[in-house]
């Protein structure tokens, strides 16, 4: 525990404090965090869009943030985790919260926590601080990304005016259940009675529909109530249809990948539900789609050999990454810089993408949940990866440096497996570029 006076703590001090504050990194439930919300008197005067799902949450949030900002609205956006800086998690008007703003918000939240003698997890504390900042800034709308699940996630203490579910896949099964039906039910917990509930998962679990009916949410499913026409591989235009009517000749989002039209459609469906309060124009949509950025999601870096960064850390995301890699064309060799957390389905991720990789460079992650390079290599063997070169490295930066030295100009390097993996390679590249 840091003993430094609260008002003199730096952001780094606060983050260390948050990490040590609660005995568990994850504790599902709303009772503790909701008591502090009440103590802080966080009464919201602006609409909230809550975004949950297994994969695609960050992309969907980023598109909504870009479009609404282009329309001139003051947008608060809360996402997690971050890649390089904690400040990335909390943005107002597309600007990261400053260290000073975060420290002030942390002080306010912690004062309420101390008064009530309640312990909070890192994510719970962050969520309260984010909404405290949004409230103080007088945002026009808050976009909140669910951290884990939905029903018992800290974000769910705030009622969503519109809830969005992206994909539903197997992940975090220790907390959410071991089937898509169980996971779907947990994620549908962000729905609210009488409010729009958008789902862009084509194969929607029945538990999601059933829960929406039970609470009287206005369920809207892709392909039934909204959708798009156009090929995700077509780099020109696509058309959206939904409750707000047709929108023709839209540009593809600058975010790459075959799933992005699903995410964009969910984004537009959600914005349609709030059009009476926050109207947007076709120009806003077009410009927003062209301006959206999100590092680490099928992020192709400039230069040769081509480097692709992707935080894919479950089989569903790895399958999408494999499709996206296939769409890039042919490369003599693809090097994979591969590092994951040990509580993830490493075997399933490897199986989903194995056919697209020629040389595997496994690395360890220096974190309590991080798998070692040898554990990742053993998972590759369990996944049936045979006849391929597998090398091990202490960390992703060393694996990436080896790939850069070994690959020829026309090869491809794919860095994936976790946020830790992508973040370390980004930091390494920054160091090299400024050397």
Higher per-residue pLDDT: 9 or 66: 66
Q: What is the pTM of this model?
A: 0.94
pLDDT at 170 over 90: no
DSSP string, 200-267: --SS--HHHHHHHHHHT-EEEEBTTTBEEES-TT-SSEEEEEETTEEEEEEEPPSS-STTHHHHHHHH
pLDDT at 268 over 70: yes
Whole-number Å distance between alpha carbons of 130 and 97:
9
pLDDT > 70 in the chain, percent: 97
pLDDT at 3 over 50: no
Q: 69: which residues sit within 8 A by CB, 6+ positions away?
A: 75, 93, 94, 288
pLDDT (tens digit, 9 = 90+) per residue, 216-237?
999 999 999 999 998 655 557 8
pLDDT at 393 over 50: yes
Higher per-residue pLDDT: 257 or 281: 281
Mean pLDDT of 406-428: 97
Query: How many residues are present in the chain?
Result: 435
pLDDT (tens digit, 9 = 90+) per residue, 285-325?
999 999 999 999 999 999 999 999 999 999 999 999 999 99
| Mean pLDDT (the chain, rounded) | 94
pLDDT at 126 over 60: yes
Q: What is the pLDDT of residue 234?
A: 55
pLDDT at 329 over 70: yes
Domains and CATH numbers, the chain: 6-291 (3.40.1190.10), 299-430 (3.90.190.20)
Q: What is the pLDDT of residue 387?
A: 86
Under the banding of pLDDT at 50, 70 and 90, the label for residue 22 is confident
Question: How much is the CA Rg of the chain, to the nearest whole Å?
Answer: 21
Task: Tell me which residue of 338, 295, 325, 310 sits closest to 412, measured CA to CA.
Answer: 325
């Amino acid at each position: 525990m840091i003993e430094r006076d609260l008002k003199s703590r730096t952001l780094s001090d606060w983050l260390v404090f948050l990490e040590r504050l609660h005995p568990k990194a994850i504790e599902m439930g709303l009772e503790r965090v909701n008591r502090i919300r009440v103590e802080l008197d966080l009464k919201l005067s602006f609409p909230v869009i809550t975004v949950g799902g297994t994969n695609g949450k960050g992309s969907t949030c980023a598109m909504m943030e870009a479009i609404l900002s282009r329309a001139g609205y003051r947008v608060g956006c809360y996402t997690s985790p971050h890649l390089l800086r904690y400040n990335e998690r909390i943005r107002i008007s597309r600007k990261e919260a400053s260290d000073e703003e975060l420290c002030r918000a942390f002080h306010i939240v912690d004062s309420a926590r101390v008064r009530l003698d309640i312990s909070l997890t890192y994510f719970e504390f962050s969520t309260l601080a984010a909404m405290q900042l949004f409230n103080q800034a007088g945002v026009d709308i808050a976009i909140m990304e669910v951290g884990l699940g939905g029903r018992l996630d800290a974000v769910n203490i705030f009622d969503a005016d519109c809830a969005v579910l992206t994909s539903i896949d197997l992940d975090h099964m220790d907390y959410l259940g071991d089937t898509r039906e169980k996971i779907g039910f947990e994620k549908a917990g962000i729905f609210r009675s009488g409010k729009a509930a958008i789902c862009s998962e084509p194969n929607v679990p029945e538990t999601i529909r059933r829960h929406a009916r039970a609470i009287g949410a206005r369920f809207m499913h892709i392909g039934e109530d909204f959708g798009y026409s156009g090929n995700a591989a077509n780099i020109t235009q696509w058309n959206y249809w939904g409750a707000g009517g047709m929108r023709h000749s839209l540009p593809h989002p600058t975010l790459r990948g075959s799933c992005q039209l699903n995410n964009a459609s969910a984004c537009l469906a959600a914005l349609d539900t709030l059009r009476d309060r926050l109207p947007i124009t076709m120009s806003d949509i077009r410009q927003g789609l062209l301006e959206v950025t999100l590092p680490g999601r099928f992020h192709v870096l400039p230069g040769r050999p081509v480097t692709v960064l992707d935080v894919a850390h479950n089989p569903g995301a790895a399958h999408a990454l494999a499709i996206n890699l296939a769409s890039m064309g042919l490369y003599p060799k693809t090097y994979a810089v591969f590092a994951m957390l040990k509580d993830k389905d490493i075997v399933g991720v490897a199986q989903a993408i194995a056919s697209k990789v020629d040389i595997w460079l496994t690395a360890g992650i220096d974190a309590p949940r991080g798998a070692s390079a040898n554990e990742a290599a053993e998972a590759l063997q369990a996944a049936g990866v045979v006849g391929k070169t597998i090398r091990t490295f202490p960390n992703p930066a060393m694996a990436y440096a080896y790939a850069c030295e070994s690959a020829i100009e026309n090869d491809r390097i794919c860095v994936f497996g976790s946020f830790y993996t992508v973040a370390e390679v980004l930091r390494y590249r920054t160091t090299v570029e400024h050397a």
